[in-house]
Amino acid sequence: MTTVKQHPVLQGRAPQTFSNLLDSFFQDSVNNRRVQGFTPAVDLWETEKSYEVELALPGLKKENITVEFEEGVLTVSGERTFNKGNEGQKYHRVENLYGKFRRAFQLPEHVDAAAIEAQFENGVLHISVPKVEEKVVKHQISVK
Number of domains in the chain: 1
CATH number at residue 43: 2.60.40.790
Per-residue pLDDT of the chain (144 residues; tens, 9 = 90+): 444 444 444 455 555 665 665 565 555 444 444 446 789 999 999 999 999 999 999 989 989 999 999 988 999 999 988 877 777 788 888 888 888 999 999 988 889 888 999 999 999 999 999 998 764 445 444 554
Is residue 56 assigned to a domain?
Answer: yes
- Domain for residue 102, yes or no? yes
Q: In what order do the strands lie in the sheet with 65-70?
A: 65-70, 73-80, 99-106
> pTM score, two decimals?
0.66
Look at residue 88 and tell me if it is in a domain. no
Range of the domain at 123: 36-82+97-130
